[in-house]
Amino acid sequence: MTDKTQALRRPASDQPTTERSVPALAALQLSYRVVLRQLTSIARIIALTLLALVSTVAAFALGRSDADLEAAVRLISALGFAVVIPVVSLVFGGAAVGDLRDDKTLVYLWLRPMDRWPIVVGAFLAAVTLTAPITLIPVVLAAVLTGTGGGIVPGTIIAGVVAVIAYCAVFTLLGVWLRKVIVWGLAYILIWEGFIALGGAGVARFAIRKYTRSILVDRTGVDLDLADFSTPVGIIVPLAVAVVALALGSWRLSNQDID
C-alpha cells in the first residue's frame, strides 16, 4: 500500500493550473473517441449491416429481372432512404449522447472545463463514422446492382451522404433531449416521414426524406411524388437542419440537468 503523504506528491511538472481549460479541438477529439468506442458493438454492427444488406439483395434481384430506371429509383428510395439510412442513423445517432445520458457516464464529459458543443459534435461525428460505411456501401452497391445507370449511382451517393449527416444530427439532438430516443426516432421515421409527410407538399417540407428523394429524382430524371426540389436545395436544407440540430443539442446540453 502506498504511503499517503508520499503518494500525494505529484511530479512538479504535473501540477495543474487553476485556469485550466480544454481546447475545443481536443474536447471534440476526446468526445469522438469515447463515443466511438461506446457505440462500437460487434452485435449491433452485424445486425445493422444485415439490415442494410436487404437493400443490396433486393436491388440484385431487381437487376436480374431487367427492371427499368424508375423501378430502381423507387427501390433505392423506399428501402435505402426510407428504412436503412434513417434506422441505422437512429441507432447510432440516438445512442451517441443518449447512451451516455442513460448509463450516467455523461458526467465524465460534462463536469469538465470544456465547452458543450465539442461534446455534441464529437458524438455526432462518431455516429456518422459508424453509420456511413454500414449504410452507404450497401445502398450504393444496391444502386450499382440495379444495372440501370442513368445517374442513379451518383444520385444515391450524394443523397446518401446528405441523409446520413442530417439523420445522425437530428437523432443526436433527440438523444440529448429525450429519453427513449429509439421510440421517438421510430415515431419520426414511421409515422411522420412514412405517413404524415406523404399527405402533402407542405408537410413533406419538414421531412428529410423529401430532400433525399429530390436529389435522387433530380439526378435521374425519374418522376416520384413529393420530390420536386433541385439538387442544391436537397443538399443545403438538410445540411442546414443538421447544423441547427447540433447547435440546439449543444445549447440543450449546456442547460439540462445531468444525472
Partner 1 sequence: MTTLPPPAAPLAPPNPDALATNAMITVNEVSKFFGSIVAVSDVNFAIDGGVTALLGPNGAGKSTLFRMICGLTAPSKGSIRVLGSDPRTDRTVRGRISLVPQQDALFDHLSAIEMVQVSANSHAMPDPKGIAHWALEQVDLADVGAKTVGQFSKGMRQRVKVACALVNDPEVLILDEPLTGLDPVQRRHMIALFHALGDAGRCVLVSSHVLDEVARLGSRVLVIAQGRLVASGDYRDLRSLMDDRPLRIRIGASAPRRLGTALVERGLVTALSLDAHNGPGHLIVDTLDADGLGRKLAPIATELDIRLTEVSPLDDDLESVFRYLVEGR
Contact 101, 172 (CB under 8 A): no
Q: Which stretch binds partner 1 (CB under 8 A): 55-63, 73-81, 104-112, 228-236?
A: 104-112
Question: Closest separation between CB of residue 253 and partner 1, Å?
Answer: 12
Could you give the angle at the alpha carbon of 101 between the alpha carbons of 120 and 28, nearest 5°? Answer: 25
Distances (CA, A) of 172 to 48, 49, 95, 98: 18, 20, 7, 8
CA distance readout (Å), 59 to 62, 102, 138: 5, 38, 10
Q: 27 or 166: whose CB is closer to partner 1?
A: 27
- Write out the three cell numbers for 189: 421515421
State the nearest-atom distance from the C-beta of 254 to partner 1, in Å.
9
254 in Cβ contact with 118 (< 8 Å):
no
Least Å distance between CB 160 and partner 1? 29
Note whether 179 binds partner 1 by CB under 8 A.
no
> Contacts with partner 1 in 33-72 (CB under 8 A)?
34, 37-38, 40
Phi, psi for residue 40 in degrees, rounded to 5: -80, 95
What is the nearest approach in angstroms of partner 1 to the Cβ of residue 17?
A: 9
Dihedral sign (CA 133, 54, 238, 255): negative
Q: Which residues does 251 contact at the CB level (< 8 Å), separation at least 6?
A: 116
Enumerate residues 132-151 that contact partner 1 by CB under 8 A.
none
CB closer to partner 1, 42 vs 65: 42
Stretch of residues binding partner 1 (CB under 8 A), selected from 121-129, 153-161, 202-210, 251-259: 251-259
In whole angstroms, the minimum distance from the beta carbon of 10 to partner 1 comes to 6
- Residues in contact with partner 1, counted by CB under 8 A, come to a total of 40
Q: Is 154 helix (H, G, I), strand (E, B) or coil?
A: helix
5 binds partner 1 (CB under 8 A): yes
Name the residue among 203, 202, 230 with its Cα closest to residue 215. 230
Mark residues 7-36: x for contact with partner 1 by CB under 8 A, - for none.
Answer: xx-xx-xxxx-xxxxxx--xx--x---x--
From the list 97, 96, 29, the residue with the least C-alpha distance to 252 is 97
Name the site residues for partner 1 (rule: CB under 8 A): 1-2, 4-5, 7-8, 10-11, 13-16, 18-23, 26-27, 30, 34, 37-38, 40, 103-105, 107-115, 257-259
